[in-house]
Structures are given as C-alpha cells and as structure tokens.
Structure 1
Amino acid sequence: MCRWLAYWGSPVRLTNVLYTPVHSLIDQSLHSKLGAETTNGDGFGIGWYSDGTEEPGVFRSTEPAWNDTNLRELSVHITSPLFFAHIRAAIGSSVQQTNCHPFRYQRWLWMHNGFIDGFRDIKRDLAFAVDPTLYLNISGTTDSELLFHLALTFGLEDDPPGAVARAIGFVETLGRAHGHESPFQGTIATSDGDSLWAFRYSSAGQSRSLYFNRSVPQLREMYPDMAVLRDKVADDARLVVSEPIGNLPGAWVEVPEASYGVVSKGREELLPFAPRTPA
C-alpha cells in the first residue's frame, strides 16, 4: 500500500510539512507504522496549487522519496496553501513515473491508497465506461488513475462526493459480478484548488487508516508551551494523513469508516459515505 498527505490552509513551505515533523511522510517512506508495508519506496509525487496558475504543479519520480535530492530542494522553495504528497508501494502495476500519484486533470488532483480487487478481470469494462474525451488523458496503468477518470466521467467537477460514490459503486457492481466479494479498498483525496475532499471506504468495512489534525487553536490549548504551534502553524492549517506525523498525543483524530470530509473556506464537514450504483 501507499502513504499520503494533503494540506489545506494558509500558505506553508512544503519542507515544513514533508520533512520537519517527527515521523514525517518522508520518514514513513522507510518506516511506516500503520501501512501494509513498512517501506514505501516505489516512487513518490507532489502536487501543489499556487497563485497565478490555472493548473496545479506536479512533480513525480520513481526514486524513493527518502533518497531524492530534487524533492528536498523543491520542497524548500515551494510555498502553497493546498498541496498533496504521496509515497508509493506498488501492487501489481509497474514502477514508472506515469503510475506515481497524484494524478492531474486540468485543475483537479487525485491520489489513492488502496486497490481494486480483481482489477484485471474488470479493467476493460472500467476503461470503456470512461468518457472518450477523458480517456486520452490516462497515461499510466494503475487502478487509481482509472478510478480518477471514472469519477471525472461521473461528474467529479460538479459533485465530488456523488461522483466518487458512483465510481466506487460501479467498481463494486462489476467486481461482484466477476466473483470478487470485496472489490474496493482505499482512501482517496481530491481537490479543485479551492476545496479538499478526503474519503475512507472499503467494501469489507476495513479501510486503510486515515487521520486529520485537531484544530490548531485546540492544539495550542493542549500544548501551551509548544513554540512551533504558536509561531509557525496557522490557525486554519488542516492536514489529512494516512498515518499521523509528529508525536503529540491527542493531536490526531481518526476518520470514521465509510465517511468523507471536506475542507474549504468557511466550511469543515465530516459526513457519511456510501457507494451508489450509477445509472
């Protein structure tokens, strides 16, 4: 499996999130505690939004995240109010740059930790369901990228929760028709540059781990003597992570099974999630 992190809030330098914390995402690429594998060394990617650009920037590599000097260099110089980071442990698909997350379509970013069980059995049917105008954007071979384009086909740009529900519902319908009892497993993050959506769901009800940070004002009350919370972390900083970074007890809240969260300006919600069978 993989590990990922999504940040939303006041602009922050990427290195302060990716490298600085104890048990940072970069540390997790070698020493994951909650993933299916300890090592996530089959490539990485970052995607970030910045002022004055229509599309988010993306940098992906097949190098292990802990060993890539370009990632370390870029993270010192990139400041963003919304960014994704993903470290990959490949299952079944090749270790190649086009298979590294996050995936991008126009203003949208997408990343996934998990798998589609029986993907080879249903891959053709999934691919034929993708809108032909979107299909040409698919450059890799992963189930995650194909799922992204299914969600786009089912209306991600207008209704992200509904589109993800229909995409996963379609996967489950096809998977079960081919004898796979629990076709989907995963956590998903997606964004249009303004809002961040994060999903936790599996067909078996045993999803990969996912957490979000308590509000920064709450954390300051819990740890009044911690200078980094007072001086370097903005009130609105929100992180969604596959496993906690840092070592502060009580700082992280587990996302409930079969639910999703959305963060945008003036809005923070945690809501139930269930797949839908698309028409």
Structure 2
Amino acid sequence: MCRWLAYSGNAVQLETVLFRSRHSLIDQSLHSKLGATTTNGDGFGLGWYQHPHDIPYRYRSIQPAWNDRNLRELARAVSAPMFVAHVRSATHTPVQETNCHPFRHRRWIFAHNGLIQSFPLVRRELLVAIEPGRFSALEGSTDSEVMFYLAMTFGLEHEPVPALERMAGFVEATARRHGIDDPLNMTVCACDGEQMVAVRYSSEGNSRSLFHSTSFKHLHELYPDDPRIAAAGEDAYLIVSEPLVDLPDVWAEVPEATAIIVRGPQVEYRQFVPVTPQ
C-alpha cells in the first residue's frame, strides 16, 4: 500500500522528518516494516502550509521518493508548521502525477493509505455521488481521490469527522450492494492549515498501521541536545504510518475505529463510526 505522515507544531524544515530520522518516510519508501508492501516507489507527494489561512503548497512526482534530487532540495529549503507527506504503492490505478497524494481542494489536502476493495466495480456509482460543483476538480483515477471528494460532498469543510464518517458509510453501503464484503480499509489525513484530522478505520477491523507521537515535552527531556526536537516545540504532534525509530518509546498505536483532531496544542480522540447518508 502506501506510507504517510502528518506534522503540526512550530515551523520545522521538512527534511527533519523526511530524511534525517533513521526510519524516515524516505527510508520507509524503500524499507517499510509494517506496510502491506515493503517498497513504496510509485510516486510521492508533499502538501504544506506557510500560514494557516493560505492555500497549501504542493509538490508531487512519479519518481520514487528516494531518487528525486528536487525533493531533497525542497525539503531542505522549506520550513512549515503543518505538512503532510505520502509515498505511494499503486493498487488499481496507473503511476501518474495526478494519482499521487496528497490531493488538494481549496484549503484542504488529503492523503490515504488503504483501498476500496473491487473499486472498479463501484467506481461509477461513487463518482456520480460527488457534488456536481466539485466533480470537475477530479484529476486522477484513484479510489483515494474519490474518497476525498465524497468527503467534501458530505461536508468536510464544515464538520470533518462527521463528513468522513458519512463518506465511509456511503462507500460501505455502495460496495455491499455489489456483494463486496469488508470493502473499506483506510488510514486518512485531512488538513486545512488550522486543523489536522486523521482516521484509522477498516470494515473488517484490521486497518493499516498508524501511530501518533505521545509527548514532545518528554522528547525534550530524553534528547535535550537534539536541535530537531527543540525546533518542533513541546506542542508538536506527529501522525505516522510507522514510528520513526530513532525516537524510541514515544509512539502510541492509534486504536481501530479512531479519529484524531489536532488544533494547535489541543488534541482530541474520538470513536469513528461510519454513517450511511440519508
């Protein structure tokens, strides 16, 4: 499948997380330990905010993340208080830039790991449920982008978690009408520059891996001389497909069927329950 991470905190250089950690996201693109596939080389993408109310910047490429010199230069040059990075392992759809995450619509960016089972069988029905005013913004052919625009249709900009619950419920109901069991597996992240919303959920209760940092204050105590941790600040928060292993004992697994909402120093955890839209 794929690997992704999301960061919120003080502005830090992107390379701090993408390259410098021992099991960084770039390392995971080659040597994933917990993913469905070891190598995630079918493209990558970054989305980041310089200021909370700005339209996010984005860089995507079909190059493997470990082999893109421009990515290393960009990650060294850019500092941001919120960003999402994703390395892709393609499933149903081709390797092309428009299929690389994160997807963007206005202030929102969206990244996904997982799949809709038998997506080609339900693709048309899911597509026609997208609000007509948003349909023209679709660029690629992935199930992930369809999930994003369904969530937008169901109110992501106003109530992110309920919108994602309605999206998940709609996908499940549609797939089951086609006789598809356990249709949805996802870890997703949606950001608008002010908040970061992540969900771990699957129809069968066996989701892809997802972890969150427990305490950057504790990290400051463990690594008082590490400038990377000092730069992030005590309220920094990371959500990752796999732990960055050079920072031991500070990761907690996100439970099944859980949503996380991060707004600055405030972090909320709640149960995630799909709802079939009326």
Structure-1-length-normalised TM-score: 0.96
Task: Tell me which residue corresponds to 2:182.
Answer: 182
Paired residue type of 2:257: A
Deviation at 1:250, TM superposition (A): 1.4
1:78 aligns with 2:78: yes
Give the distance between the partners of 2:259 and 2:182, measured in 1 at CA: 20
Deviations 1:205-240 (A, max 9, x none): 00000001111112334x255534664441111110
Distance 1:230-1:97 versus aligned 2 partners, 3 A rule:
closer
1:4 aligns with 2:19: no
Deviations 1:162-220 (A, max 9, x none): 00000010000011111111010010000111000000000000000000111111233
Task: Tell me which residue corresponds to 2:171.
Answer: 171
Q: Superposition pairs for residues 44-55 of structure 1, below 5 Å? A: 44-51=44-51, 54-55=54-55
Moved over 4 A (4+): none
Distance 1:126-1:233 versus aligned 2 partners, 3 A rule:
same
Task: Tell me which residue corresponds to 1:249.
Answer: 248
1:98 aligns with 2:98: yes
Give the distance between the partners of 1:45 and 1:263, measured in 2 at CA: 21
Give the distance between the partners of 1:168 and 1:129, measured in 2 at CA: 13
What's the secondary structure of 1:139's corresponding residue? coil
Confirm or deny: 8 A CA contact 1:216 1:229 kept in the other structure: no
Aligned-pair identity in percent equals: 49
What's the secondary structure of 1:127's corresponding residue? helix
Give the distance between the partners of 1:227 and 1:219, measured in 2 at CA: 9
Paired residue type of 1:153: T
What's the secondary structure of 1:185's corresponding residue? strand
Distance 1:158-1:231 versus aligned 2 partners, 3 A rule:
closer
Deviations 1:14-54 (A, max 9, x none): 01111001110001110000001110000000000013973
Give the distance between the partners of 1:196 and 1:212, measured in 2 at CA: 12
TM-align CA RMSD: 1.4
Paired residue type of 1:115: L
Give the distance between the partners of 1:203 and 1:30, measured in 2 at CA: 28
What's the secondary structure of 2:256's corresponding residue? coil
1:268 aligns with 2:270: no
What's the secondary structure of 1:144's corresponding residue? helix
Structure-2-length-normalised TM-score: 0.97
Deviation at 1:245, TM superposition (A): 1.0
Give the distance between the partners of 1:119 and 1:251, measured in 2 at CA: 36
Q: Gapped runs of 5+ residues in structure 1?
A: none
Confirm or deny: 8 A CA contact 2:210 2:239 kept in the other structure: yes
Distance 1:224-1:124 versus aligned 2 partners, 3 A rule:
closer
- Count how many residue pairs are aligned between Structure 1 and Structure 2: 278
What's the secondary structure of 1:240's corresponding residue? strand
Distance 1:22-1:224 versus aligned 2 partners, 3 A rule:
closer
Give the distance between the partners of 1:30 and 1:252, measured in 2 at CA: 21
What's the secondary structure of 2:134's corresponding residue? helix
Paired residue type of 2:61: S
What's the secondary structure of 1:125's corresponding residue? helix
Give the distance between the partners of 2:185 and 2:22, measured in 1 at CA: 28
What's the secondary structure of 1:133's corresponding residue? helix
Paired residue type of 1:90: A
Task: Tell me which residue corresponds to 1:126.
Answer: 126
Paired residue type of 1:155: G
Paired residue type of 1:181: D
Give the distance between the partners of 1:218 and 1:64, measured in 2 at CA: 34
Q: Superposition pairs for residues 11-160 of structure 1, below 5 Å? A: 11-51=11-51, 54-160=54-160
What's the secondary structure of 1:248's corresponding residue? coil
Task: Tell me which residue corresponds to 1:239.
Answer: 238
Paired residue type of 2:169: G
Paired residue type of 1:182: D
Paired residue type of 1:202: S
Distance 1:261-1:228 versus aligned 2 partners, 3 A rule:
same
